[in-house]
Structure 1
Amino acid sequence: MTLLKMTRSICPKCNKVIDASVVEEDGKVWLQKKCDVHGSFKELYWGDANMYKWVEGFASEGAGVSNPAISIDPSKVACPYNCGLCTAHKSHTALANVFVTNRCNKRCWYCFAGLDNIKKNGYVYEPPFEQIVEMLRVLRDERPVPTNAIQFTGGEPTIRDDMLDIIKEAVKMGFQSIMLNTNGITLALDPDLVARYRKAGVNFLYLSFDGVTATTNPKNHEYIPKIIENCRKAGMPVTLVPTLINGVNDHEIWPIVRFGLDNIDVVRSVNFQPVSFVGTMTRSISEEEKRKAQRITIPDMAHKLEAQSKGLIRASGFYPVPTVAPVADIISKVRGGMPITKFTCNSHCGMATFVFKDGDKIIPLEEFVDIGRAYKLLKELSFEDLGTNVGKLKAATKLYSKVSKIVNKEKAPKDVDVASMIVDVLLKKGGTDKFVLRSMMIGSMHFMDPYNYDIDRVQRCVIHYVTPDGRIIPFCAFNVLPEFYRDKINKKFGIPIAEWEKQTGKKLEDDLKRI
């Protein structure tokens, strides 16, 4: 056993902050910790120790937040219990979740928000339009980098009657990336609804998609063909979002990707989310054997994809999220120092790769681009003077020349000029369009739970929730510690179910009947 680092975690029984060690053993990485009251715990952290150590080389420092809602001395911060964001947080918001309702038209057994039994929770959380606008304003007021990307989530956001109005208001406020997190059922039942959301300002559907069969995806399998058809007609890009559970749907990783590639004109990305044992899944936490059987990590997903695709998409093609951090530095310089969203999460939070299609042929990006050399080139360029027109011209010329040398044009898709695409991404507004339209991203983001909790990851989190009281809370605090955040906020700003039903004349069961 080899010690890789010391960190801080929480006791999964009492939530007390305790010391933890991250160790390598048998080719895997484990988190070990001991609570004085509840004893020792050992949990799988990453399924591949070599990959764990490799991704650390891509770590990038963030700008943090200069106007934190919780302004206290960093030395006195009791992370993760002072979230808001606080002075100890090291990254700004890259994507904000706007939790618009805890009502849902499904009751999923693995829901991380714990909404399978809303009656047990006792409250309907559904902030009024005006309150949501104030929440959006908090995000736009974040400094030094105003939040630019939001995701409306729930529950099922599309069952709100005023969802289109909320989206239109977000557009007016300057948000450039607006995602809608949905199971898509309402969008299948109403053929015009996708088009209305697209027209209102939604850039992406973040579509729950747990498998290609009714067994692995009982939630919305029967609706998927109609959802994709309606999105195709409306020109609505889609991200497929499978919750990955070992022994449940991990055998369909490649078929899920294959489905995305077969619909690449609509599906722009597939983002696997390895299950975290929070919310409804807390029932598995108390059953150690079941939890360990269902646990799957990012490297496990990547290796399974390589095996299932018979080596077509290799695990070595996945790079950690902070790999793109130099891109933000370059774009900021090109735009005269303008604050740009920079993905500076912990290197172990997520990974991604890209694939292209050339006719029926599938070509991974790493097949024709030396990504490692490309990263080094971007790092070098991020330190150069790019603030003048002369600087930009020199950078474009230099970049095109150098990138061309690390691209194998013989293996590249016939009509894809990657060097030109990369120059456009860095030097032109809207420059990502060419790249996005020709490729499909395959990614994975692993949110934590009380067993694999690493406070270093929380402090670098870039995916946050905004709340009605003006706080911004990291995803892995909001959902992992519901008694401090999610459930507490639901109760504080929610309405007792009986009162809500009396006010609205509706019944919670009516949501299920919409299906």
Structure 2
Amino acid sequence: MAGHGDSFVDCGCSVVGQAGGEAAATAQRRVLARTASVCPVCLGPAPAERVAVGDAVLLVKRCPEHGEFSAPVWRGEPAFTGWVRPKIPTARRGPGTERALGCPNDCGLCPDHGQHTCTLLIEVTQRCNLRCPVCFASAGQGGGRAKGLEGLGGELGGRPGDERHEGDTRASRREDDPTLGELVARLAVLRPRAGDANIQLSGGEPTLRDDLPQLITAVRGLGYPFVQLNTNGLRLAREKGYAARLAAAGLDSVFLQFDGPDDAATARLRGLPLHADKVRAVEACAAAGLGVVLVCTVARGVNDHCLGDIVRFGLARVPVVRGAHFQPVSFFGRYEGFGAPSGASESAPGVATAGTDDRADDRKLDDLREAARITLPEVMRAVRDQTGGLIPLAHLHPPGCEHAQCSFSGTFMAHEDGRLEPAGGACCGTGGSGGAARDAGTGGMAPEPIPAALGAERARSFVRRQWRAPDPATVSADTDGARGGTLATPPRDDFERFLARAGRRFSVSGMAFQDAWTLDTERLRGCCIHVAAPDGRMVPFCAWNLTSVDGRPLHRNGAPSRTGVAGCGGLGSGEGAGA
């Protein structure tokens, strides 16, 4: 990453230092498109380009004050240029924010946003019973890595001097949680604008709220058709009957943090060896009739070698486990051990100072962060290779809802003998052969553009159908308790056999969230995952979580103003034309 002026360091994807040196690197660099981004230091606007270097694609941008930055957004097959799913932008529903400062400052949604809401996420607490080294929301109290749990519902204490950045006003005390009434009122106001969006309850750790069952019931009472819980699973695993209480309240699905088949990955990414708790959480959901999606944060060199094991763990527990979802690690919020915002230098990391040691520290932090970065196609290939070709690239598709470069998915019928059969179409309303098949030389044509709103509608329907547990009557009699459900009598006819097979659908998907290095405003305007902000805005997920290199948030403390990033002094005003 660059410091001031004209300096530039790319991510290691170029061929500098190999045969041909600098000239060969320059010759192989090809600009694919121009877009816009933000500066990782000040979050101000930065013109950007997507640049092909060999089989990799970099996002390269320049801040007039802090110089040039580069980060990989795509590496290898399926080819970037073939991974497409064109959409016709759809205007927002109802009122929102207006154009003033440019993208991504105007989120709320502004008139330039081109996609309706598929998932409306609401953060119900910033408290957490873990202090994960990697966390979108920097949830929990300040402090180092978790040494142990202070009871199931208690937060982990911090070390002196580890308080939050002064520009970050996120709550971490019970009394600072929004009240039940405030949360319900927020979702009620947004109901006309969000439409039939699926609701995800997030945080922090939502299960720290003892009124979570009442909140779920209230959300269903507002007419939202699907409610999902985003959780680390500890309370589900350790409190008998808790999963059943959530199911009775109206919960449909559990988005379960699940980073590997053993304790190694959870210790690195979550600070504690918690695999046994994850298994017990799945078992509790099976008993309660809740569908489970295994959600893995993927970091290179940490757990990218065990994605196939996660898929196999899920397949062994169909139909309660509805899919495996992979999220390449993104660098916002807290990312200790991967070039942490609170790292080695007293100055903001990445902001070069006169001291040689500071520059060296900044480069070290940059190297740690970029070494852990992994792109969507690398995840796809790892899933293919680690499952022995059980999930070919040709059966993974670009999305029909969000921007094509944001995700992949495939849906399969899981047979009892271990075979996977493509289930006809993919997650998020895709269908068709997708980019991978074209790249494989099948000669398929690019799909015709669809209205973005239609993609969002199909995505909502898919999630409701696939990620909630199937009705017990659709689970075949040979399914035992260890695999997720039972049925007293076998299917009586072809229709019941069809329903039983439908209950064994399993999705494999991934989503690449954008951070301050990789944010592309074209992608952001196609986002369909929106956060219900306390001030009534609906903010695209990546914009909501966006933080500068030293941990300053863009949107979490309120909308950015012409005098600076919200809650962060005078940094990154973003004034001027947006993307």
Deviates most, 445-454 or 352-361: 352-361
Correspondence 1:284 to 2:339 = yes
Q: Offset of 1:152 from its aligned partner?
A: 0.2
Partner of 1:65: 92
- Of the three residues 69, 75, 81, the one matched with 2:105 is 81
Residues 131-158 of structure 1 show CA distances to partners (whole Å, capped at 9, x for unaligned) of 111111133110xx61420100011101
Q: Offset of 1:2 from its aligned partner?
A: 1.8
Partner of 1:21: 49
Distance 1:8 1:224, change over 3 A: same
- Of the three residues 541, 554, 559, the one matched with 1:484 is 554
Distance 1:455 1:434, change over 3 A: farther
- Of the three residues 341, 365, 379, the one matched with 2:422 is 365
Residues 446-485 of structure 1 show CA distances to partners (whole Å, capped at 9, x for unaligned) of 1111111101111111001002221111101100145332
Correspondence 1:8 to 2:59 = no
C-alpha contact (below 8 Å) 2:127/2:140 kept by paired residues? no
User: What is the SS of the residue equivalent to 1:291?
Assistant: helix
C-alpha contact (below 8 Å) 2:126/2:140 kept by paired residues? no
TM-score, normalising length from structure 2?
A: 0.67
C-alpha contact (below 8 Å) 1:27/1:50 kept by paired residues? no
RMSD: 3.0
Q: Offset of 1:81 from its aligned partner?
A: 0.8
Higher helix content, 1 or 2: 1
User: What is the SS of the residue equivalent to 1:320?
Assistant: coil
CA distance in 2, matches of 1:455, 1:95: 19
Q: What residue ranges of structure 1 are gaps of 5+ in the alignment?
A: 323-342, 384-431, 494-515
Partner of 2:231: 182
Q: Offset of 1:194 from its aligned partner?
A: 0.5
What are the residue-to-residue correspondences of 1:195-274 with 2, within 5 Å?
195-218=244-267, 219=270, 220-274=274-328
Partner of 1:128: 179
Correspondence 1:440 to 2:509 = no
User: What is the SS of the residue equivalent to 1:372?
Assistant: coil
Residues 8-47 of structure 1 show CA distances to partners (whole Å, capped at 9, x for unaligned) of 0011111110110001111011111112221111110111
User: What is the SS of the residue equivalent to 1:37?
Assistant: coil
CA distance in 2, matches of 1:136, 1:475: 16
Q: Name the % identity.
A: 32
User: What is the SS of the residue equivalent to 2:134?
Assistant: coil
CA distance in 1, matches of 2:191, 2:502: 25
- Of the three residues 151, 159, 169, the one matched with 2:200 is 151
C-alpha contact (below 8 Å) 1:139/1:147 kept by paired residues? no
Q: Offset of 1:96 from its aligned partner?
A: 0.8
Q: Residue type of the partner of 2:137? A: A
Distance 1:484 1:207, change over 3 A: same
Q: Offset of 1:381 from its aligned partner?
A: 13
Distance 1:17 1:4, change over 3 A: same
CA distance in 1, matches of 2:390, 2:302: 23
Q: What residue ranges of structure 2 are gaps of 5+ in the alignment?
A: 1-28, 143-157, 341-348, 350-364, 436-443, 452-497, 560-565, 568-579
Distance 1:487 1:245, change over 3 A: farther
Q: Offset of 1:52 from its aligned partner?
A: 1.6
Residues 46-76 of structure 1 show CA distances to partners (whole Å, capped at 9, x for unaligned) of 11365321122x1212423132321x3x5x4
Q: Offset of 1:351 from its aligned partner?
A: 0.6
CA distance in 2, matches of 1:434, 1:21: 49
CA distance in 1, matches of 2:450, 2:371: 44
Q: Offset of 1:129 from its aligned partner?
A: 1.1
Partner of 1:465: 531
- Of the three residues 133, 136, 152, the one matched with 1:109 is 133
C-alpha contact (below 8 Å) 2:394/2:434 kept by paired residues? no
CA distance in 1, matches of 2:448, 2:43: 43
CA distance in 2, matches of 1:37, 1:64: 34
CA distance in 2, matches of 1:15, 1:224: 37
Correspondence 1:454 to 2:509 = no
What are the residue-to-residue correspondences of 1:318-357 with 2, within 5 Å?
318-322=396-400, 343=401, 345-357=402-414
Distance 1:11 1:436, change over 3 A: farther
CA distance in 2, matches of 1:106, 1:470: 29
Correspondence 1:301 to 2:358 = no
CA distance in 2, matches of 1:36, 1:96: 35
TM-score, normalising length from structure 1?
A: 0.75
